[in-house]
Amino acid sequence: GSEEEIWTMALESELNALQCHFTWNLEPSKSKLNYLRDALEDIATDEGNVWLGHIYNLQGFIQYKLGSSEEALKFFRRATETFQRLKNSDEGPWLMVNFGNLAWLHHHMGEDEKSHDYLSKVEALMREYPAPPEEELHQEVCAEKAWTLMKFDKEKKLQAEELFQRAVRMQPDNLEWQTKWVILLADCFKVNMKRMTPDVFEKVKSASERDPENLYVAALYLRARAAKGEQIQDEAKRLAERILESSTKSYNGFSHLRRLYIEYMSKDEAIKLADETLRRYPDCRCAKEFAAICYKNKVLSQDFPPSSQSGIVTRAISLWEERIVLYAESNLKDQITLADLYAKVDKEKAEQIYSEMLNRKHLDSAEKQMLYNCYARYSFFNRNDSFRAIEYHMKAVEIQKESRYRQKSIIKGSAILNPILKQLYMSVSGL
């Protein structure tokens, strides 16, 4: 037995020295794993994506972490085939990470002979394709590690930036790596493009000039320009046509195109694009989500007259319900939106959704505060019930947690209260 133990210890020591997903300290929570699994499905598996092998490697690792070694094996094997096909070669440095993953997985599955085979393959590749002098990682490993880390938390993203920079330094003619590095630098401004720094803006601009076929960068650059106040409406329509002709996957720029239309085009233009996207891609989850958001924005805008357009409200509700089903991690905010949509056509149903939320046992203080504020607003505008609105604004304010919902309740609550107090005073005074 001891000889076997020594052999296993030696194997584990060699496995730990590998560069792959199992040794990169990726310890995501269960909810992060589910989120990543869904996000990677939305990225794309069509042939045009040069990161396809990397995607399959990460999907395999996620399946292993979620407890399915068989699924993991399928993805890792698919990664092997994809790299071989994309690189038009049976072996090369781009397989180091993939073979490392397979070595680890077979070890976890109790198949140490197979694990050893893959280990030998990695060692052979490392001998044949050593890292450049002064560098600890081969540029292909560097780029894959960078691509993987950029999918994780902030800290890992900083590490990813550094790794991409190193990969580009080792292989300056690799356009994909250069572009991905710029995308990563711009990533922290994704939600608020107005905050993009001039140096990152310049990098995005030159990436779009260097790589004009990259629709993701084109959409990113257009959003950055719109945030600077440029008129981009005509260009947005032309870009929308190019993106829709190609695919709605997020690596293709559809995620930025959506935001561009929601932030800078009219609500009707956004709905028009959403309907056209759904017509072309009826089964695409991103397209359904985009349509749900566009219709919701229209129906819940202040200038929307529900009485004459109940068809739009019904469509908004059904799309929003579908969105909640499609994205299993549905949260309280999604339910509040659903209740607010129903309030336009079916007050009883809206009331029912709100009361179910108010009766939930496991809400934290931030969730309660948001719910109380929204229910107060709903009571005032949809039920004409000032007293209940004040009651729930007060409940929101009582929660000692500074947030925009608490601020809103302080302002709105006192605005409702003043005329009521004035009225009481007048009636008591007999005026």
Given this model, what pLDDT does residue 9 score? 87
Q: Enumerate the H helices of 25-111 as residue ranges.
A: 30-43, 52-65, 69-87, 96-108
pLDDT at 419: 86
Q: Which long-range contacts (CB under 8 A, 24 or more apart) does 233-236 make?
A: 233/264, 233/265, 236/260, 236/261, 236/264, 236/265
Say if 40 falls within a structural domain: yes
Does 49 reside within a domain? yes
The sign of the CA dihedral 265, 270, 276, 281 is positive
CA-nearest of 229, 183, 173, 237 to 206 is: 183
d(CA 203, CA 138): 25
pLDDT in tens, 363-396: 899 999 999 999 999 999 999 999 999 999 999 9
The share of the chain scoring above pLDDT 70, in percent, equals 96
Residue 32's pLDDT is 86
**What confidence category does residue 130 fall into, taking pLDDT thresholds of 50, 70 and 90?**
very high
Q: Which two tokens stand for residue 31?
A: 């909810």
Q: Is residue 391 part of a domain?
A: yes
Q: Residues 6 or more apart from 403 whose CB is under 8 A from it?
A: 366, 369, 370
Is 94 within a domain? Answer: yes
Mean pLDDT of 425-431: 74
Q: Given this model, what pLDDT does residue 284 score?
A: 85
Domain boundary among 172, 188, 208: 172
Domain termination residue (choose one: 172, 201, 235):
172
Which residues lie closer than 8 Å to 418 by C-beta, 6 or more apart?
none
pLDDT of residue 271: 96
Confidence of residue 428 (pLDDT cuts 50, 70, 90): confident
Give the global pTM. 0.79
Q: What is the mean pLDDT of residues 193-201?
A: 95
Structure tokens at 38: 């869904």
305 pLDDT tier (thresholds 50, 70, 90): confident
Among the candidates 125, 152, 172, a domain finishes at: 172
CA 153 – CA 80 distance, rounded (Å): 27
Instruction: Report pLDDT for 250.
Output: 58
Q: What is the pLDDT of residue 41?
A: 79
Query: Is 12 part of a structural domain of the chain?
Result: yes
- pLDDT above 90 covers a percentage of the chain that reads 73
Could you report the per-residue pLDDT of 86-127, keeping only the tens digit for each? 899 999 999 999 999 999 999 999 999 999 999 999 999 999
Residue 131 has pLDDT above 90, yes or no: yes
**Rg, C-alpha atoms of the chain:** 27
Which SS3 state, helix, strand or coil, does residue 137 take? coil
Q: CA distances (Å), 236 to each of 6, 270, 325, 429, in order?
A: 63, 11, 30, 62
Check residue 417 and give its pLDDT.
87
- Residue 157 inside a domain? The answer is yes
Q: What is the DSSP letter of 131?
A: P
Domain holding 25: CATH number?
Answer: 1.25.40.10
Average pLDDT, the chain: 91
Q: 3-class SS at 191?
A: coil
Q: Is residue 209 part of a domain?
A: no
| Domain count for the chain | 2
- pLDDT bucket at 46, cuts 50 / 70 / 90: low
In this prediction, residue 427 has a pLDDT band, given cuts at 50, 70 and 90, of: confident
Give the Cα separation of 431 and 427 in Å (integer).
6
Q: What does the pLDDT average to over 218-239?
A: 95
State mean pLDDT over 195-208: 95
Q: Measured between alpha carbons, how far is 402 from 362 in angstroms, rounded to an integer?
A: 20
Q: 23 and 105 in contact (C-beta within 8 Å)?
A: no
pLDDT in tens, 143-192: 999 999 998 877 898 899 999 999 999 999 999 899 999 999 998 898 89
Domain coverage including residue 84 = 1-172
CB within 8 A of 213, min separation 6: which ones? none
- The verdict on residue 218 lying in a domain is no
Q: Are 15 and 107 in contact (CB under 8 A)?
A: yes
Q: Is the pLDDT of residue 247 over 90?
A: no
Model confidence at 1, pLDDT cuts 50, 70, 90, reads: low
Query: Comparing 4-13, 314-323, 345-354, which segment has the lowest mean pLDDT?
Result: 4-13
